[in-house]
Structure 1
Amino acid sequence: MIDQSDLLSTLPVLAAWGLAGLLLCTAVEKLIPIIPSGGMLIVLGMFGASDASDLPWVVAITATGSTAGSLFWYMLGRWFGPERGDFLAMRVGKRLGIGSEWYWRLKDGYHYRGFTVTFVSQIIPFARAYIAFPAGVLAVPAKGFAIATFFGAALWNTPYLISGYMLRKHMFDQDIALPAAFAAIMLAYPLLFTVFRVCRPGRNAARSAVTIRCTTRSTPRR
């Protein structure tokens, strides 16, 4: 079994590679989500930014790496297609303890607010790693998916990277910086998720519209 502490100890080495190392770390985190992204990003913030002027570049490159990892799962979903993709997604979800209803609700949401669903999913710990596959199964436009993933990942990454940078520079006491950063994250992200849930269409309305759309497409022309 892979030891997470060993993986964390290699992050400073990879961060020392510069932007390429940051890109690699965040891409692999999406491909193989073994360690919590928050812990990884804090370490990358500590060792990837030498001064404050580096932070925008670090945020941009880590968001790019995260987007690249998501695009791999997206393309895999496109390759599987709707029938095989639905079967695989529900089977994996069952193993992870996720009901099939969640997957169908996700599909309904994508039909109406694909950009918003992708963006908001990037600030939800579990969904951010797995949302790309159903997006590919549904053939969501790749350009919009990539843009939404990039900006959502940037929003998720920024507080962790800044926290890591502050810890290294000792701008705040280490016993205060981390709790303060996590408290801000825990307050901001649930608010965004709540806004998304309030603004999204009702589940029954979305399901009915999707059913009508599928029925219309399947009706043979005379």
Structure 2
Amino acid sequence: MTTDLLSTALGLGVLGAACLAFTEKILPAPPSHVLLLFLGMARAPDLAALGALLAVTTSASTAGCLFWYALGCRLGPSRAEALVGRFGRYIFLRHETYLRFSAAYRRNHIRASLMAQFVPAVRNYLPIAAGALRLPALPFALATLLGAMLWNAGFLLAGYAMRDSAHDLPTVAFRIMAVVLALEVVFLIGLRSRWRRAGPARSWNSQA
């Protein structure tokens, strides 16, 4: 069924790519690594098509983040934190990570919105915290747009570069994903080290 839906969406051209990018923000299956690499390989015959893919996937990714931002606005800080605390482990979003980035939003919401786009799971669901904190919508959207554009561009370009490769594409894609995941792990370790020096994360309730 997943294959059929993917084939149907891809048959719609850039509109289908936008739908896939939006859906990935709501439920990251397949992960953006796989989706964007595949789009770059299979749906970008030239640079003009690659630019169109970048535009629509970036816009759709930002729209998905704004969906979670709106949900956070509706929930408010306490209910949003409770929701992540209860269900975060099912989407690989640790409660402590959520609290840390929430605190980063309070210090510099533009930088935090940008950085969040480069962290697995966080990039999909942390906009809930931005909405719950009632961060200004326009700066949040612009920073998210920039982060999503950089993230999407990297994978689309990698896929585009491999479109005519004589190598086995699934193997090459797997190697690129492995490298990116390793870099993400290093990034997360660096963040946790910095957070450990800053002290334990606190919930909104304890800060009130």
For 1:174 and 1:62, the matched residues in 2 are separated by 26
Whether 1:70 aligns to 2:65 is yes
Q: CA deviation at 1:52?
A: 2.2
Distance 1:186 1:84, change over 3 A: closer
- Counterpart in 2 of 1:203? 198
Q: Would the aligned equivalents of 1:46 and 1:164 in 2 still touch at CA under 8 Å?
A: yes
CA separation in 1, counterparts of 2:60 and 2:82? 28
* Equivalent of residue 58 in structure 1, options 53, 58, 68: 53
Residues 12 and 44 in structure 1, CA contact (< 8 A), matched pair in contact too: no
RMSD: 3.2
SS in 1 for 2:35: helix
What SS is found at the alignment partner of 2:29?
coil
Match of 2:35 among 40, 55, 68: 40
Structure 2 counterparts to residues 122-141 of structure 1, below 5 A: 122-141=117-136
Question: What is the count of residue pairs matched by the alignment?
Answer: 205
Aligned amino acid, residue 138 of structure 2: K
In percent, how many aligned pairs have the same letter?
A: 31
**In 2, Cα distance between equivalents of 1:97 and 1:165:** 29
* Local SS of the residue matching 1:173: coil
Q: Residue 220 of structure 1 corresponds to which residue in structure 2?
A: none
Pick the aligned partner of 2:21 from 26, 29, 48: 26
For the 8 Å contact 1:31–1:69, the answer to whether it is kept is yes
Q: Deviations over 1:128-163 (max 9, x none)?
A: 111111111111111111111111112222232223
Shift in Å at residue 179 of structure 1? 5.5
3-state SS in 2 of match to 1:124: coil
For the Cα contact (< 8 Å) 1:14–1:21, is it kept in 2? yes
Q: Secondary structure of 1:170's partner?
A: coil
After TM superposition, give the deviation of residue 181 of structure 1 in Å: 3.5
- Which amino acid in 2 is paired with 1:64? S
Aligned to 2:107: 112
Q: Distance in 1 between matches of 2:189 and 2:129?
A: 22
* Cross-structure match for 2:76: 81
Residue 185 (1) aligns with residue 166 (2):
no
Q: Distance in 1 between matches of 2:176 and 2:95?
A: 34
d(CA) in 2 for partners of 1:159, 1:172: 21
Q: What TM-score comes out, normalization by structure 2 length?
A: 0.79
Q: CA deviation at 1:83?
A: 2.5
Partner of 2:76, secondary structure, is helix
Letter in 2 for 1:173: H
Whether the aligned pair in 1 keeps the contact of 2:36 and 2:155 (CA below 8 Å) is yes
Give the TM-score normalised by the residue count of structure 1.
Answer: 0.75
Residue of structure 2 in register with 1:150 after alignment: 145
Query: Which residue of structure 2 aligns with residue 174 of structure 1?
Result: 168
Per-residue deviation, 1:73: 0.8
Give the whole-Å Cα distance in 2 for the aligned partners of 1:47 and 1:187: 25
Does structure 2 retain, via aligned residues, the 8 Å contact 1:166–1:172? Answer: no
Structure number with larger C-alpha Rg = 1
Between the aligned partners of 2:51 and 2:101, the Cα distance in structure 1 is 32
Q: 1:104 to 1:41 in 2, by over 3 A?
A: same
**Separation of aligned partners in 2, 1:84 and 1:70:** 18
Q: CA deviation at 1:120?
A: 1.3
Retained in 1: the 8 A contact 2:25–2:61? yes
- Quick one: which amino acid aligns to residue 160 of structure 2? Y
- In 2, are the aligned partners of 1:163 and 1:177 still within 8 Å (CA)? no
Q: Which residues of structure 1 form unaligned runs of 5+?
A: 1-5, 215-222
